[in-house]
Amino acid sequence: MRSSGVGLGQLVLALDATLVRLIEAPRGLDVPVRSAALIDADDVRLGLSVSAGSADVFFLLGIGESDVVRWIDRQTAAHRAPTAVFVKEPSDAVVARATAVGAAVVAVDPKARWERLYRLVNHVFEARRADPVSDSGTDLFALAQSVADRTHGMVSIEDDQSHVLAYSASNDEADELRRLSILGRAGPPAHLQWIAQWGIFDILRAGSEVVRVDARPALGLQPRLAIGIHRSDARFMGTIWVQQGSRPLAEDAEDVLRGAAVLAARIMARLAARPSAHLLAVQQVLGLADTDTDVTELARELAVPAQGRAAVIGFDTRTEHPRLVDVLALSASAFRPDAQVGSNGSRVYVLLPDSGRTGPVVSWIRGTIATLRTELGLELRAVIAAPVAGLAAVAAARREIDRVLDSAERHPVAIGQVTTLAEARTTVLLDEIVTMVGANERLVDPRVRRLREREPVLAATLEAYLDSFGDIAAAAAALHVHPNTVRYRVRRIEQAMATSLADPDVRLLLALSLRATA
């Protein structure tokens, strides 16, 4: 089941007072939020793209008070008033204007890194969309809080690059290392140097034992417990840290950490293997996910317009390549920032919302194919469906693209390297009809099978004759024989089949049977 979003209150609570502080929430804390966008001064000066304008939550980076107020007014006039704005040190004027249009205001710690906040917010979205009833078995934030409750400490979970993925609620006893880690800043250099000097990171990466890290009173740092998170194949995935406050840690804190490391490894493995909510939304639009599709909701999640003349491009290569999806996504995003990319086996699909003319699209496709041939040695085929009448028609267009690509697999020469649905329609329909005829023995004229087996020269002549629409001279040229030879063979064919090739129905039936038995 797809979630209707994360409540604003849930989001602020998950981020914790270390990062953010709620200033005003005129529509309450239950208002749902589904997506976030980073907005800087250039976005305000040049005007927002459609993709950014349709988000719920906005992080306003380095924008002056007057520009923020004008931006809020512009969004409201376009009927896209934000659900909430996250601002560092918001002024009274910003708070007043935002609340006047019903937008919540959340103050961000001045030392916080915006990219860290953005990553954490999207992690909350992903976890809640995957399982709206989050618990410690599905969500790293919930796991961190559960471990904190059991150990009486403050918990943070980091990846293998020491980036904070989730953490429990903090209190006034959080030391500088914990606070700066959550904010996305480096910890005190002297403390990090001390940890490295004693080989603590090496121990955490190498094994699954709990490590005790002593307090550093001179640096104002509290004692800690830490344990490495490892996959079943012993590969290091990250670390769980527990900072002690004034209250001693629980006696069984080490046992709790060992269990938490196992759970964290499972959750992180599932998160890595599971498609993101964004990718799942793209798959739903393309008709590749076995779920109900609400086009309006999907357009909102993807931050693209639901209407307009879209384009869908299907790329295929005979063998899967591990980098193909990423390389095509990079190229598509450079061509169009709002491009959406999904895949199914060896096929990669690019959706260009509201794409307009197809000329630039074809140029981009040809350039991309040429580049991948040179750099990766890949031979790609591309099929274009355009114009497509909005997101609601994308899944049907993707299925038509697959029909063309399926036909191209059976008859590579018949379909060009870059083609449109319209250009390939005749070839595809005829190929599908012939394939269906060939798959059913009863639909193939037995006289054609006998002719192929007993008189292969006559069978080849019949094909050339029918393909030339009964033009003797054209058939003779195709066969490199004299026209009289073709006339003689046609008479023999009619005698052998006891039929007349002057009958259009006979010609149609024989042509299909010849193609089906080729």
If one compares 160 and 394, the residue with the highest pLDDT of the two is 394
Q: Which CATH number fits domain 6-129: 3.40.718.10, 3.40.50.2300, 3.40.120.10, 3.40.1390.20?
A: 3.40.1390.20
CA distance 492 to 349: 51
Average pLDDT, the chain: 84
pLDDT of residue 127: 64
| Mean pLDDT of all residues in 4-16 | 81
CA distance 53 to 36: 10
Q: Which CATH superfamily is domain 140-273 in?
A: GAF domain (3.30.450.40)
pLDDT of residue 171: 75
% of the chain beyond a pLDDT of 90: 37
Residue for token digits 């990766």?
Answer: 376
CA distance 62 to 44: 11
Tell me if the domain spanning 440-516 has CATH number 1.10.10.2840: yes
Dihedral angle over CA of 317, 321, 326, 331, nearest 10: -40
CA distance 356 to 113: 37
Of 204, 143, 216, give the one whose Cα is nearest residue 177.
Answer: 216
| Mean pLDDT of all residues in 303-314 | 89
Sign for the CA dihedral angle at 93, 99, 100, 102 comes to positive
CA angle 471, 477, 482 (to 5 degrees): 90
The radius of gyration of the chain's CA atoms, rounded to the nearest angstrom, is: 32
Least confident interval from 127-141, 235-249, 281-295: 127-141
Nearby residues of 136 by Cβ (< 8 Å), 6 or more positions away: 142, 143, 145, 146, 263
pLDDT of residue 186: 57
Residue 190 has pLDDT above 70, yes or no: no
Residue 137 has pLDDT above 50, yes or no: no
CA distance 271 to 265: 10
Structure-block tokens of residue 346: 């060896």
Residue 132 has pLDDT above 80, yes or no: no
pTM: 0.52
Tell me if the domain spanning 277-428 has CATH number 3.40.640.10: no
Of 99, 104, 102, 69, give the one whose Cα is nearest residue 84.
Answer: 104
Model confidence at 476, pLDDT cuts 50, 70, 90, reads very high
CA distance 348 to 342: 6
Bridge-partner residues for 312, per DSSP? 351, 385
Query: Can you give the residue ranges of every domain in the chain?
Result: 6-129, 140-273, 277-428, 440-516
Sign for the CA dihedral angle at 265, 269, 270, 276 comes to positive
pLDDT of residue 136: 38
pLDDT of residue 307: 86
